[in-house]
Structure 1
Amino acid sequence: MKNTVLALALSAALAACSAPPPSAPGMDLKAIAAVTPQAASSDAGSRWDGVIEAAQQADLTAQTAGRVASVAVDVNDRVAAGQVLLRLTGVEQRAGAEAARAQAAAARAQAVEAEATYRRFAGLAQQQYVSEQQLDQALAARNAAQAAARAAEANVAQAMQQADYTQVRAPYAGVVAQRLVEPGESVSPGQPLLRVFNPGRFRIQVQVPQGVAAALRAAPQADITLADGRVLAASEVIVYPGADADAHSVTVRVQLPADAGALMPGQVASVRFPAGGAGAGAVWLPQSALWQRGELTGVYVLGKDRLLLRQVRVGERRGDRVEVLSGLAKGERVAADPVRAAQALAEFRAAQER
């Protein structure tokens, strides 16, 4: 039923556009140049260009305000985990830490005094030298002093952490990708300072049609061709569960092996999915062989003595080639120039009417 509706729509479009009839038997087709659809090879329709990115990359930002005192590394330097990469002046932070320690010492002394006062009142209360109210007040004062001492200790930890933020350390062993500040510059919390990445973990993300994604879920394998010509087998292929509603594509993440060698983020590579080629029955044609009217797409198929305009469904477009998903089989001959084929049909029909 669906094919009948499509055929009627195509016929109506042809009539509306004053095009020649979709089929004409008895024609001499020798003068019409033809092309033969090609089935997709293991490479066709399954190779995608992408950009290498670090799977583990960190933008190191300032976590406290200050002035850059020194930067110990530069771009391409290798760093160890925990290594100090940059220092801030930190005068205010160190002063704040000293003040917090002094306040904590005072709070501890007050807590000790309050504890002693409470114990003394507790002994006097047993001999009824002080009232229950006075004992309760001493207990409350002791508890308040102990809470103040704990709060002061927390302030010390916070102040020391702020002082520690003046030293920016590498979160893991890696390579410096970017140096964004120089000594003498003032920085504020959240400002980017350095970028580092793990040189042993790289990946590529590409967008593929939904049909290709379905094939990859069944056979998640990929080969990566690097700019220097090396071909590597992917250590992992992950097909994202959702699709882009606008582009009708699915993101596929390809993990490069750990022994991929010297790579840098931003390099271009080509990814081939053995199972992600064209779908069953799909063939490829030059885009110039397509006949299009609005949303309808067709080709002129050359038979023994017949020229037939047939509707097809197309998929990807790659350069001057287009993927034909249905409506055409491998081995059928198609007019290379649909305009010339339409003219030939019109001339043949006019000759028959004389």
Structure 2
Amino acid sequence: MRTRFHVPAVLAGLLVALAGCSDDSGPESMPPLAQLETMTVEAGRGIGGRGWDGVVEAVQQADLSAQTGGRITTITVDVDDRVEQGQVLLRITEVEQQAGARMAQAALRAAEAAVVEAESNYRRFAALEDSQYVSRAQLDQARAARDSAMAARDAARADLAQAGRQTEYTVVRAPFAGIVSARRVEPGETVVPGQSLFSMHAPGALRIEVQVPQSEAAAIRAAGRAIVMLDDGRRVEAARLIVFPAAEPATHSVGVRVLLPDLEQSGQPAPQPGVTAKVLFPAATEQDADQGVVRVPYSALVQRGEVSGVYVLADDRLSLRQVRLGRRSGAHVGDGGVESDEVESDEVEVLAGLKPGERIATDPVAALQALAAQREAGGARP
């Protein structure tokens, strides 16, 4: 983690004084500068892309609820336990469910007996019809009684199947292999149908959804690339991007769904659902590169009130130059807008004041100290 520092007020005052001094003796009369870390400004220098924050979520997740009522007898798992598909998570008493199943089974046997009797009556009436011992209406009544008995038997079979399902619901099993993320009941507690029991997710398939400006959507869709910056400092290449086909009417932003690769298969820990992550889209930077946008590290800036500047090195002479800044990319912003945990791609656009090919000092404090030492050695007053 790098910590942002600002030039103290005293040094900043000295900085302005040094910048305002003139030296008539020429560069040959000044002693050489101390060794400084510098960089050459380039147009469209890649920074990894513009970033937007999103929340990690599991593609496969489930909230398990009770499908029958009863008292919990056993809970076999707890939060953060890994479970396999079909593994037993919880058991509920099944006294009422088994009683209902026995009643449904008895009703089915009665319905089957009624079907047998109705079928026999119908056959008997059908055999007597040719001899005209029964009327046509009596035969129709026998046929209707048989059909009604068959329908009652089918209904009894359905009731028995439903009662059996209620008995099966007393054992709650994992619908897929994953991790238990929440447990909301305790042993001995009485539950009712619809009551939440567990939450679980599969860690292998994760995704992040972010909202990007509508002006960036086309470039992001065409590039099809993104880099996810996790809170532990890792950078993960997105497995796939899905750019939503329509923008939000209220915000005029476009949703982008970023699918992460299965990190656990490669031996890396997967981020937990619900944590925040930054998604960088290099496509936005590539557009800026085509326009020749100059970018410099934010740490190279000297800030004095609303005035920003950088130390420019030319012919072994160091001078402070005011610049006009554009948007900043790649910085993490914490609560209340306070910058924290900056990343290597923390850079800012320079709209005016610098040209490609110029050299700047990357450490303004070291540059100020080197400039003061040079002037002191040369007998000049800051």
Q: Is the Cα contact below 8 Å between 2:231 and 2:276 reproduced in 1?
A: yes
Matches within 5 A, 1:9-158: 41-43=45-47, 46-158=50-162
Can you list the C-alpha shifts for 1:110-157, whole angstroms capped at 9, x where unaligned? 001100111111111122221211111111100100011011111111
Q: Aligned equivalents of 1:157 and 1:288: distance in 2?
A: 77
- In structure 1, the residue corresponding to 2:285 is in which secondary structure? coil
Is 1:270 the counterpart of 2:274? The answer is no
2:244 corresponding residue in structure 1: 240
Q: 1:133 to 1:39 in 2, by over 3 A?
A: same
Q: Which amino acid aligns with 1:233?
A: E
CA-CA distance at 1:91 after TM superposition? 2.0
Q: Is the Cα contact below 8 Å between 2:48 and 2:281 reproduced in 1?
A: no
CA-CA distance at 1:230 after TM superposition? 2.6
Aligned residues: 276
Q: Aligned equivalents of 1:144 and 1:190: distance in 2?
A: 35
Q: Which amino acid aligns with 1:265?
A: P
Matches within 5 A, 1:252-331: 252-260=256-264, 261-263=268-270, 264-277=272-285, 279-280=287-288, 281=291, 331=354
Q: Aligned equivalents of 1:244 and 1:130: distance in 2?
A: 76
CA-CA distance at 1:229 after TM superposition? 2.8
Q: Aligned equivalents of 1:198 and 1:74: distance in 2?
A: 16
CA-CA distance at 1:279 after TM superposition? 4.8
CA-CA distance at 1:227 after TM superposition? 2.9
Q: Aligned equivalents of 1:43 and 1:313: distance in 2?
A: 15
CA-CA distance at 1:73 after TM superposition? 0.7
User: Which deviates the most, 125-134 or 143-152?
Assistant: 125-134
Q: 1:324 to 1:231 in 2, by over 3 A?
A: closer
Q: Aligned equivalents of 2:68 and 2:274: distance in 1?
A: 31
Q: Aligned equivalents of 1:58 and 1:244: distance in 2?
A: 27
CA-CA distance at 1:257 after TM superposition? 0.6
Q: Aligned equivalents of 1:160 and 1:128: distance in 2?
A: 48
Is 1:174 the counterpart of 2:175? The answer is no
Aligned CA RMSD, in angstroms, stands at 3.3
Gaps of 5+ in 1: 1-29, 32-36, 291-309, 333-354
TM-score by length of 2: 0.64
Q: Which amino acid aligns with 2:232?
A: D
CA-CA distance at 1:314 after TM superposition? 8.1
Is 1:228 the counterpart of 2:232? The answer is yes
Q: Is the Cα contact below 8 Å between 1:121 and 1:130 reproduced in 2?
A: yes
Can you list the C-alpha shifts for 1:155-206, whole angstroms capped at 9, x where unaligned? 1111111221111111111111111111111222222100111121111122
Seq. identity, %: 51
CA-CA distance at 1:251 after TM superposition? 1.7
Can you list the C-alpha shifts for 1:57-96, whole angstroms capped at 9, x where unaligned? 1010111222222111111211111122111113222211
2:219 corresponding residue in structure 1: 215
Q: Is the Cα contact below 8 Å between 2:48 and 2:282 reproduced in 1?
A: no
Q: Aligned equivalents of 1:194 and 1:271: distance in 2?
A: 30
Q: 1:44 to 1:225 in 2, by over 3 A?
A: closer
Q: Which amino acid aligns with 2:278?
A: S
Q: Is the Cα contact below 8 Å between 1:43 and 1:272 reproduced in 2?
A: no
1:191 corresponding residue in structure 2: 195
